[in-house]
Amino acid sequence: MNPSQWRAVNSSVAKLQLLEIPATNTRLLWAIGVLRVRAWAARSAEIAAREAWLDEVDAVGRHFAIIDGEELVAAARVSAHETLAAAPDPEDFAELAPIPTPIASLNRLVVAQSYRGLGLGIRLVEARLAAAEQMGCRSAVTSIWPDDRIIRRMERLGFVSAGLTKIYRSVTYGPEARFMVMTRRLLAEGLPGEPLSW
């Protein structure tokens, strides 16, 4: 994705760039891991104790980042999987009815505290949906904190709620976490989808 595709939400974000970061760029991948820790440290002592939060999917996923000058301010990942059991955090999808494969897992969206509320998360979802279609995925799945405002935003992007996960211990949200699972069919499935615009 090229920086000229970034359309400013308003004048306060006009200088931001949305970029795809290759998984082979270890310097920026590490910076993404550090941003995850900074953004989620207040929710979890386990996360706060880490220098960076990276996992095995980071090496094979596609990463998108929003940069302000030289500073990484938001990032998110998409990865393609043949089954829900192979996706990151498979426990989130244990109760989900079968969906068309391959499946795009949208996860690890993080926005620096001082950049929240500017629509950066939506831009990262749009970029990952476009990437998922390029990868030939027929469905997208994500698990989000069950906040009505976030759910409505995802619904505007074509996602539908598939129910809450079981209560389990989450690295980011603690011992009593429950997430909303949301799914979306992609254009590759041959069904009408939400048009993506920049």
Q: How would you write the pLDDT of the chain (198 residues) with one tens digit per residue? A: 333 334 433 435 568 999 999 999 999 999 999 999 999 888 778 888 999 999 999 999 999 999 999 999 999 999 999 999 999 989 888 888 889 999 999 999 999 999 999 999 999 999 999 999 999 999 999 999 888 999 999 999 999 999 888 776 566 556 667 889 999 999 754 444 443 332
**Distance, CA of 58 to CA of 98 (rounded, Å):** 25
Has residue 194 been placed in a domain?
Answer: no
Q: Give pTM, 2 decimals.
A: 0.84
Has residue 198 been placed in a domain?
Answer: no
Q: Considering its fold, how many domains does the chain have in total?
A: 1
The CATH number of the domain holding residue 32 is 3.40.630.30
Has residue 196 been placed in a domain?
Answer: no
Half-sphere exposure of residue 32: CA atoms within 13 angstroms, side-chain side: 28
Amino acid identity, position 56 = E
181 forms beta bridges with 143, 163
